[in-house]
């Protein structure tokens, strides 16, 4: 090979090297992706709630990925069945997955507490759309998730008073009976409600604590009727709430049945039956997606989920908001757990409407609190009545 040929070959080789490395870099940049996890009850008796929330996460990611970003976001799920015992076995696997940079969830308070050790140890940030127990962000509590747990909803310190106010609204001489389901969520909400009842000197005529998955409520119904209560506040979840409401209705009791966000679910009507569910009141630190979303967001919801409307599905808005917190950080180039943690803790984000500011306190609560909505079953459909 003569010298000219050698020179040409050298130039071609160098050019190939440069072009190849550019192409490789471009290819790597184009296929860059990160992973978020939705953690909640996707199976089990509370599966409806988790399945509903997942719709919000999918919608947010659909909107994000449709904007053709440089960094794609993959969503995977972690099913904790809404139970601490299951969450304790699921969280280590999520925490060990290096691709995961954030957790949308956990959905439930008990599952959150059980997940904290794994996520704190691996510095994995959580933004929950629905875990409302007060102690999750209380610095004095051993259950708190500081500095990795945040939530986009108000806690039970807000919901407890709200459920009392909403349940006795329009009731003459209310006599309230409070029942919890012995879960971290249920007992926390019951405590908050009872504290407000005492503060406002509402007449509390009794209380009970009924474990989940109880079939027979005869004794509880007997006590409620004996107490002459005309308002029952149940702070558990909809499978048991529905069964209790049915038992009360079948016994001839004609008072107001009320519950917190754990009972707020279309499936409550199926379990309780239409007659027992009619007039039941619920509160939730939630805004219905179909009420708050723009047409474009509704279309994105349909594209992401295959459903025409989010009506009847709970916490879709809140999960959308929680997911968007992470997506906003990813847009800012925060692609590591440390970057996400710092961004979520200090950043300013926006809710579904694009105007409501979401910013977290040091403990993980939304600055300024979040409104609690009132819902009621009217003619077999759960209707939203605005903030209560």
Q: Which is nearer to other proteins, 149 or 234 (CB)?
A: 234
Q: Which two tokens stand for residue 280?
A: 């039941």
Does 76 bind other proteins (CB under 8 A)? Our answer is no
Cβ atoms of residues 210 and 244 within 8 Å = yes
**106: cis peptide before it, omega within 30°?**
yes
CB of 333 or CB of 380, closer to other proteins: 380
Given a contact cutoff of 8 angstroms between Cβ atoms, the answer to whether 281 and 230 are in contact is no
Question: 65 or 214, CB closer to other proteins?
Answer: 214
Q: Angle at which helices 337-346 and 316-331 pack, to 10 degrees?
A: 110
226 belongs to the binding site for other proteins (CB under 8 A): yes
Distance in Å, CB of 107 to other proteins, minimum:
15
Residue 385 CB, nearest approach to other proteins (Å): 24
Is residue 100 at the binding interface for other proteins, with CB under 8 A as the rule?
Answer: no
Q: Does 213 bind other proteins (CB under 8 A)?
A: yes
- Out of 214, 309, 342, 363, point to the residue binding other proteins (CB under 8 A): 214
Binding residues among 329-358 for other proteins as defined by CB under 8 A: none
- Judged by CB under 8 A, the stretch of 61-69, 89-97, 221-229, 253-261 that binds other proteins is 221-229
Rounded to whole angstroms, the Cα distance separating 288 from 299 reads: 15
Minimum separation from the CB atom of position 148 to other proteins (A) = 29
Identified binder of other proteins from the candidate list 9, 219, 381, 387, rule CB under 8 A: 219
243 counts as binding other proteins under rule CB under 8 A? yes
Number of H helices, E strands in the chain: 14, 14
Told to check if 89 binds other proteins by CB under 8 A, we report no
| Binding region for other proteins (CB under 8 A) out of 158-166, 268-276, 279-287, 320-328 | 268-276
Using CB under 8 A, which of 142, 170, 252, 354 touches other proteins?
Answer: 252
For other proteins, give the closer residue by CB, 47 or 299. Answer: 47
Please, which contacts does 242-245 make with residues 24 or more away whose CB atoms are closer than 8 Å? 242/267, 242/268, 242/269, 242/270, 242/271, 242/272, 242/276, 242/277, 243/214, 243/215, 243/217, 243/271, 243/272, 244/179, 244/210, 244/217, 244/220, 245/272, 245/276, 245/277, 245/280
Burial (CB count <10 Å: 0-12, 13-18, 19+), residue 304: buried
66 near other proteins (CB under 8 A): no
State how far the alpha carbon of 151 is from the alpha carbons of 267, 284, 310, 365, in Å: 25, 14, 21, 6
Q: How far is the CB of 40 from other proteins (least distance, A)?
A: 13
Bond preceding residue 74 cis, omega within 30 of 0 = no
| Cα–Cα dist 299/296, whole Å | 5
Closer residue to other proteins (CB): 43 or 346: 43
Interface residues with other proteins (CB under 8 A) are: 43-45, 47-48, 182, 208-211, 213-216, 218-223, 225-226, 239, 242-243, 246, 250-252, 267, 270-271, 273-274
């Amino acid at each position: 090979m003569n010298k000219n040929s050698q020179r040409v070959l050298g130039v071609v080789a160098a050019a190939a090297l440069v072009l190849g490395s550019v192409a490789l870099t471009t290819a790597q940049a184009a296929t860059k992706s990160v992973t978020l996890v939705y953690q909640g009850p996707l199976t089990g008796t509370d599966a409806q709630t988790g399945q509903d929330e997942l719709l919000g996460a999918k919608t947010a990611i659909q909107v994000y990925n449709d904007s053709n970003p440089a960094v794609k976001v993959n969503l995977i799920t972690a099913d904790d069945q809404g139970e601490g015992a299951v969450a304790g076995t699921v969280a280590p696997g999520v925490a060990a997955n290096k691709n995961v940079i954030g957790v949308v969830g956990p959905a439930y308070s008990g599952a959150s507490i059980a997940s904290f050790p794994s996520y704190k140890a691996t510095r994995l940030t959580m933004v929950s759309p629905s875990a409302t127990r007060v102690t999750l962000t209380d610095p004095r509590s051993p259950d708190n998730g500081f500095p990795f747990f945040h939530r986009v909803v108000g806690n039970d310190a807000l919901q407890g008073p709200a459920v009392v106010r909403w349940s006795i609204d329009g009731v003459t001489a209310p006599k309230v009976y409070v029942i919890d389901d012995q879960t971290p969520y249920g007992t926390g909400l019951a405590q908050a409600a009872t504290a407000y009842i005492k503060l406002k000197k509402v007449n509390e005529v009794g209380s009970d604590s009924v474990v989940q998955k109880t079939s027979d409520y005869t004794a509880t119904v007997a006590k409620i009727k004996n107490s002459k209560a005309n308002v029952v506040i149940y702070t558990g979840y909809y499978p048991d709430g529905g069964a209790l409401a049915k038992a009360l209705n079948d016994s001839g009791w004609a008072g107001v049945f009320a519950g917190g966000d754990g009972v707020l679910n279309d499936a409550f009507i199926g379990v309780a039956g239409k007659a027992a569910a009619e007039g039941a009141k619920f509160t939730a630190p939630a805004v219905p997606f179909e009420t708050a979303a723009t047409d474009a967001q509704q279309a994105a919801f349909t594209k992401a989920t295959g459903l025409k409307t989010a009506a009847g599905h709970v916490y879709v808005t809140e999960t959308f908001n929680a997911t968007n917190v992470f997506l906003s950080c990813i847009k800012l180039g925060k692609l590591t757990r440390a970057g996400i943690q710092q961004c979520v803790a200090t950043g300013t984000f926006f809710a579904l409407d694009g105007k409501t500011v979401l910013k977290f306190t040091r403990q993980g609560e939304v600055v300024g609190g979040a409104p609690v909505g009132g819902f009621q079953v009217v003619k077999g459909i759960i209707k939203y009545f605005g903030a209560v």
